[in-house]
Amino acid sequence: MCWSLARDRRARSQRVSRRITQIVFVAPDDTEVKVTGRAVAWILDRTRFDAFLAERAVALGAELRVSTEAAGMTCEPDGRWRVRLRAAAGDDTCRARVVIGTDGVEAMVGRWAGLDTRVPARDMESCAQYVLAGIDFDPDSLYLQFSDRIAPGGYAWLFPKGPGVANVGLGLVALKADGRNARQYLDDWIARRYPEGAKTACTVGGVIVHTTIRQTYTDGVLVAGDAAHMINPLSGGGIVNAMKAGRLAGRVAAAAIRAGDTSARRLSAYHARWMELLGDDHLKYYRLKRALEELDDQFFNSLARTANAIPPEKRTLGRIFAHALVRHPQLIPVAARFFI
């Protein structure tokens, strides 16, 4: 048993690129505010982590199909959904009593089922990210920089993968940009902050910073993760949220199938449980995000100096916020938006 536990720990460590113990908030003028904790976050190796999830699913009886996409679906008279599949080997169809849509920001499953998955333009961020090698940073820290000049409506980040290697990217709201796209903003930021970095990979895409859609279910269909806007609208983080939503959707769907009732009324329990779990908190984070959008770079520079006046060993997010409310009264309406 000891050997088995050790093996599990080694396998788990292989799926984690880095254990993070500190967040470094970077003001628009490059002032750094360091906040330390026991375990702030974990950086995943998505290649290994995704493969691990697929292996677990197959071991539990799932059928894994690669290079296959859903091309459409229709509801049949008996209430089951017929899903059209498109693959390199040829088209196919499958029938399901419950379909769980986890197809990201495009959310086609939700649309096919008649759910409203539209995203306001102000709540869709364009993102770009490089893997940079040969750069200097603390490998145990996340770096987040906020500035309308660097990433209007969003922020720039550095997530360590190992010593000297990191995911470096940013997200912005196109409506607030000056005509440049996210990759152009990112190139300018990297040229200034990490000019010595070697770009070894690039990823671009969209991140929804909205609240959960009003209805995540209908007859025989559930949507989860980005497809249901289940992203933290303040941070843009979504991996943990998607995993929790996926587990919840699977449990609700399985119970509905066992009961012989996959109606919208039965599946609505999924939405209620999600809102109780994280959805209601996301409503608060969204209000806070909208309020913070009204603050400018000069304010954040001043806030950084206020935070750095707190001794490092006492510098927690809670204390920073408390000090900020005293020193910067303009934050009071922002705080009120979170609680009201």
pLDDT tens column, 262-288: 999 999 999 999 999 999 999 999 988
- pLDDT for res 171: 96
- pLDDT for res 1: 42
Q: Output the pTM of the full model.
A: 0.87
CA 251, chain centre distance (Å) = 22
33 is a domain residue:
yes
Which one, of 191, 186, 34, lies nearest residue 125 by Cα?
Answer: 186
141 is a domain residue:
yes
271 is a domain residue:
no
- pLDDT for res 89: 86
307 is a domain residue:
no
Whether the predicted pLDDT of 27 surpasses 60: yes
Tokens of 131: 């893997």
Tokens of 334: 């922002």
Range of the domain at 175: 15-45+121-208
- pLDDT for res 170: 97
192 is a domain residue:
yes
Spatial neighbors of 60 by CB under 8 A, at least 6 apart, are none
197 is a domain residue:
yes
259 is a domain residue:
no
Q: What is the pLDDT of residues 214-248, one digit of tens each?
A: 999 999 999 999 999 999 998 888 899 999 999 99
CATH number assigned to the domain comprising residue 154: 3.30.9.10
107 is a domain residue:
no
Query: Residue holding tokens 């720039």?
Result: 156
Q: What are the angstrom distances between the C-alpha of 124 and each of 91, 120, 187, 205, 222?
A: 33, 7, 21, 10, 22
The total number of structural domains that make up the chain: 1
Q: What is the pLDDT of residues 91-136, one digit of tens each?
A: 999 999 999 999 999 999 999 999 999 999 999 999 999 999 999 9
